[in-house]
Chains A and B, each alone.
Chain A
Amino acid sequence: MTPTLQTRPDVFDTVIVGAGVMGATTALFLARGGQKVALVDRQDMFRAASGVNAGTLTLHMTRAQLIPHAIRGREMWLDSASWLGEDVGALATPGLSMAFTEAEEELLRQRARVRQDMGAPIKVVSPEEAVRIEPGVNPTLRAAAYCALDGHIPTYRVGGAYARALRQAGVTIIENSPVETITPATGGGYDVRVSNRTQPVHGRRIVLSTGAWLEKMLGWLGYTIPIRCLINQLVVTETLPPVMGSVLSIANGLLSLKQFANGSVLIGGGWQGEGNINQGGTRVIPENLRGNVRLAQYVVPRLDEAQVLRVWLGLESETPDAMPLIGALTPDDDAFVVGCVHSGFTSGPYMGRLLAERILGGNPDLSAFDPTRFSTPAATGPQS
């Protein structure tokens, strides 16, 4: 490279902002498709939702309409060696969702039905059958929904695997670099301005994949989409002798429970903490900690022997219709978004691959996720 070129801004085919599972997968498949790709994150990669999630690969909790995508995503995780370059330890197990009250039983049957219609192999079983499948559960249950396709993945192993795969694919990773503005560049493409660099990163196109932080960034491109930020709580116990072998949940979706190979039990289900997405910082709400853990202990009574090791909170994003945003933001096909996917860790690899396919000229069906469904963009121009 000549010295004059070095002082000019870096130019990429695609600049991806946000290095969680969505952005990183898109980056990986774009680079493998021959593009020169930059992946920018304001912190280290895989430290937001994609680094702190529960790693449940469940169809019981996934939104019914996303079942086909979740099934494909789950398959990708179980076969990560083939496309990510290493086995990240995903485990296939059955999944049981339980009902303890009449109202829950009704909900259970309804949720099972709509999921069956979307292709999930779920059947409702008797309490005796449920206890036979999973001897550790509270036998006072009224009914359970059984799904053969469930499982979990040790989330912590994923970030490092992606880092190695992305480097190998030639993606330029720019970490600890908060994106502050994105402006259309004269002559096409976008200038992505990063707080700790004097020169912007220039992309012929951009992909926004900043998870819970999408609302603000979409605003820069003229879109007003109110995105709700969920502050999900997770609780992990010290290692225990085996107390369960499947992924357990309850009918209303407010519990996810599983035991990892090392013996620790992870308790989740979307109980909320407190926090402020702009200022950062989250805090556990004691009543919600107690509620979540009580539910877990109720479902698996032997958890009374456990020690609570850690509680943490992670941010998840949700659109007004709780459906994803995936697709083009501009008629020129030079700005895209991928995010707000419910149970997005499960389907993340598949969703990212779909968007990469779309950008590389393919035509996957993304109509249900069209990001322009909420608002027409306000006129944008170079911002001040």
Chain B
Amino acid sequence: MSSPDFSPVTVIGGGIAGATSAIALARHGFPVTLIDEQPAAGGQIFRAPSPYARQTVPPNHEFSGGDALRQKLAASPVDVRFSTRVWGLSPTLTLDLIGPDGIDQLPPSTVVVANGATERFLPFQGWTTPRITGLAGASILMRNGGTLPGQTVVVAGSGPLLFSVAHQVLELGGKVAAIVDAGHRSDWLRLGAMLSLDPARLTQATSWMLRLQQAGIPIHHRANISAAQETETGLLLTVSEMDHPERRHVYAAEAAACGYGLKPSTLITRTAGVQHRHDHVGGYLEPVTDVAGRTSRSDLYVTGDAAGIRGMAVARLRGLITAHAIAQDRRVISARTYETLTRAPLRRLRRLEAVSRRMLPLMNAGSVIPAHLQDETIVCRCERVKAATLRSAIEAGAEDLNQLKAWTRCGMGPCQGRMCEDSARGLLTAACGNTPEEAGSFTDRMPFFPLPLTAVTGTFAYSDIPLPKAAPL
């Protein structure tokens, strides 16, 4: 075996997958830097709770699991950079960072992308009204902030987060006015039958469902919020049945939480130019990876939900396997050692993945919604672009997402299209018959999120500006 290569590894994202991977990589002897935008490790599920939340939210597995992970990381030699975000990267994977000390760059290294998932949002008439949040946002507010989004909440969208959020509302003493699910009831029953493969999830799901049932909360399946209206006391939410649009139900609530499942965060992998594909079951774009997270670039690996939505237990296993794979690729361990180390995790991974893949259609149950958006509905909140504007641009010949963006500004605002890309793509494919592949994805540009201008400029004098030679006369 030729000599091992111990050059540095950078892990982007300190959730379960990233932190697990970083710790394992450090154990293999790599110098590891871990970058995360939060002030502590934990990611979405294991996010560090505020002191207030520790008092108000009943002790739970997420808190204890997160604390254990944070302790392990603190005891490891991993160089951690919290409150730090990647805002750009070069073709050679130099990373542009902004952190507590301003702008910084990390020289090229092997990068493990573990930046997790983004919630998919689908619009409806009036969704930009205050007091309407995402399911993920509501969950963070409650679980990590100990605060209800409102005393009465309508919980809508698709996927397991629906029931988790509804349960959290009850736990903090709030009321759930209704649960509105885009999925079929039978899909859930089929999933339930498979949960025996994943006993931890089964126990949790059963206790949630019991509690929700006892509270007598109305649940609408194959339905979505079709309109929201602000009132003096909160919101009036119209719920439509997807197969019988004329059947409507109206609920009053102080707040609504709405989200349509998760999708991998692909900003970094897309910019790095690795190969991606559309997962038609999940309804999202994901980087093409092998089981260990190898991509079409030898210096970039993807692990955890960033490689496709599989959930927390799979994320930990993936993080571990990716670290071992890097050790093998760098000749730090032999193929045989790799096999020994990954045999048990891989077996477990395969079993859990079977369940996780079942979740994907449930999360993607809203995929037909964008095709039927009313003309007046705002699709892109940042630039206030309505469905009608998109439809007329598509009619004029904008048949892929980037031309649609160029002509309407949809996706050009501060969020870079993270909120509207799915609905714009769904609307486009429905309007002109193109496939999601033909529709493509918004080209990501730097910075990935707005940067304070003074962070770019720093302190300077006029004579410090390296003026190039004058333009031709």
Contacts and interface: CB of A to CB of B under 8 A. Distances in A.
Interface string B447-465: 1001111101110101011
A159 B406 contact: yes
Contacts of A272: 468
Nearest to A312: B445
B470 interface: yes
Nearest to B96: A286
B393 interface: yes
Chain A interface helix/strand/loop/mixed: mixed
Nearest to A289: B456
A295 B454 CA distance: 12
Contacts of B407: 156-157, 159-160
Interface stretch (B31-39, B369-377, B395-403): B395-403
Interface in B380-423: 393, 396-398, 400, 402-403, 406-409, 412-414
Interface of A: 44-47, 51, 61, 63-64, 100-101, 107, 110-111, 114, 156-157, 159-160, 163-164, 167, 173, 175, 237-238, 251-254, 270-272, 281, 283-284, 286-287, 289-291, 293-295, 297-298, 303-312, 322, 342
Interface residues of B, number: 42
A283 B456 contact: no
B98 to A, nearest CB: 11
Contacts of A322: 472
Given A44-B402, A173-B397, A311-B446, A290 B456 contact: yes
Contact of B403 (A44, A297, A304): A44
Contact of B450 (A114, A156, A308, A342): A308
A174 B397 CA distance: 11
A106 to B, nearest CB: 11
A103 B470 CA distance: 12
A305 B460 CA distance: 16
A290 B457 contact: yes
Chain B interface helix/strand/loop/mixed: loop
B471 interface: yes
B468 A156 contact: no
A284 B88 contact: yes
A284 B453 contact: no
A47 B402 contact: yes
A303 B453 CA distance: 7
Interface in B284-310: none
Complex A-B, nearest 8 residue pairs according to Cβ-Cβ distance, in ascending order:
A253-B471, A252-B470, A307-B450, A160-B407, A306-B453, A44-B403, A322-B472, A308-B451
A303 B456 CA distance: 12
A160 B394 CA distance: 10
B466 interface: yes
A198 to B, nearest CB: 21
B453 to A, nearest CB: 4
20 contacts: A47-B402, A47-B403, A51-B406, A64-B473, A156-B408, A160-B398, A164-B396, A175-B397, A251-B470, A253-B470, A270-B471, A291-B465, A293-B457, A295-B467, A298-B462, A304-B457, A308-B447, A308-B452, A309-B414, A309-B450
Nearest to A140: B462
A63 B456 contact: no
Contacts of A157: 407
B462 A310 contact: no
A95 B275 CA distance: 46
A331 B465 CA distance: 50
Contact of B406 (A47, A254, A281, A295): A47
Given A160-B396, A163-B397, A254-B471, A311 B445 contact: yes
A251 B471 CA distance: 9
Given A253-B471, A272-B468, A342-B472, A286 B105 contact: yes
B90 interface: yes
B91 interface: yes
Given A286-B105, A297-B457, A310-B446, A252 B406 contact: no
Contacts of B472: 63, 322, 342
B470 A254 contact: yes
A174 to B, nearest CB: 12
Contacts of A107: 470
Interface string B83-97: 000001011000010
B398 A297 contact: no
Contacts of A289: 456
Contact of A297 (B447, B451, B453, B469): B453
B467 A44 contact: no
Contact of B90 (A47, A64, A238, A283): A283
A114 B472 CA distance: 12
Contacts of A305: 453
A307 B452 contact: yes
Most chain A C-beta atoms within 10 Å of own C-beta, residue among B105, B468, B469: B468
Contacts of A298: 462, 465
A284 B446 contact: yes
Given A101-B462, A157-B407, 9 more contacts: A47-B406, A238-B414, A252-B470, A270-B468, A291-B466, A294-B465, A307-B451, A308-B451, A309-B413
